[in-house]
């Protein structure tokens, strides 16, 4: 298993091409979003580029919300994609790290074809990975496959949080995506904890113990 340090370049197909040159046939980028929020699920995406990546594809954090949304239909035409989620209940039961790994496993299982090489964002390899893989620190800014997974996971989770915000107004989830912003803290102070809050996270646990 490789661990590769980051560079300052934009994402490209270098790591995918190297794996293909070594004999891999199905190279997949894997990323997740939602480790840090106080509410909502963690979402993972596995993406395999089967066509040319859209111009401007990059780490989701480097794109505006409007640009990310515009990128989604383009990505869905050039990628094979699998999504996976881990619920708030699973996060509280397993811990956020293990729940993230579960979401990633579900994303890979949802692909139309099992990968024979994984490019994983970060430096934490899930125990279930049983094929050749490469861990890329800040991989969403280095690998086009991971960048695609990053954008798709981010937009999917953000859309889910907008839906939850409509059911539970007052927490600002439509804009803060469940992170512990002031608007979210103000909502908690006024409205209390919902079923969508992560009770294992210290700020929520502290509120419940008061």
158 is in an annotated binding site: no
32 is in an annotated binding site: yes
Q: How far apart are CA 153 and CA 171, in angstroms?
A: 22
Could you tell me the sign of the dihedral formed by the alpha carbons of 153, 126, 145, 6, in that order? Answer: positive
186 is in an annotated binding site: no
Note the residue count of the chain: 210
Contact (Cβ atoms closer than 8 angstroms) between residue 139 and residue 146: yes
- The residues near 151 (Cβ < 8 Å, ≥ 6 apart) are 57, 60, 63, 68, 71, 72, 75
Distances (CA, A) of 66 to 60, 62, 71, 165: 11, 12, 9, 19
Largest CA distance in the chain: 58
Q: For residue 170, is it left (φ>0), alpha (ψ between -120 and 50) or beta?
A: left
Binding residues for a divalent metal cation: 31-32, 121
Binding residues: 31-32, 121
């Amino acid at each position: 298993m490789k661990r590769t340090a980051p560079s300052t370049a934009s994402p490209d197909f270098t790591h995918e091409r190297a794996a293909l040159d070594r004999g891999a046939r199905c190279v997949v980028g894997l990323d997740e979003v939602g480790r840090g929020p106080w509410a909502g699920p963690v979402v993972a995406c596995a993406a395999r580029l089967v066509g040319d990546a859209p111009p401007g594809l990059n780490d989701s954090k480097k794109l505006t919300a409007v640009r990310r949304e515009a990128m989604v239909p383009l990505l869905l035409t050039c990628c094979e994609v699998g999504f996976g989620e881990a619920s708030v209940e699973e996060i509280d039961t397993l811990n956020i790290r293990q729940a993230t790994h579960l979401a990633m496993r579900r994303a890979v299982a949802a692909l139309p074809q099992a990968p024979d090489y994984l490019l994983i964002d970060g430096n934490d390899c899930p125990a279930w990975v049983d094929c050749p893989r490469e861990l890329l620190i800040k991989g969403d800014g280095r690998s086009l496959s991971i960048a695609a997974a990053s954008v798709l996971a981010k937009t999917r989770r953000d859309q889910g949080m907008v839906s939850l915000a409509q059911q539970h107004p007052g927490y600002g989830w439509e804009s803060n995506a469940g992170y512990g912003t002031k608007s979210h803290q103000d909502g908690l102070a006024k409205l209390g904890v919902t079923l969508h809050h992560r009770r294992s996270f210290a700020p929520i646990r502290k509120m419940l113990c008061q």
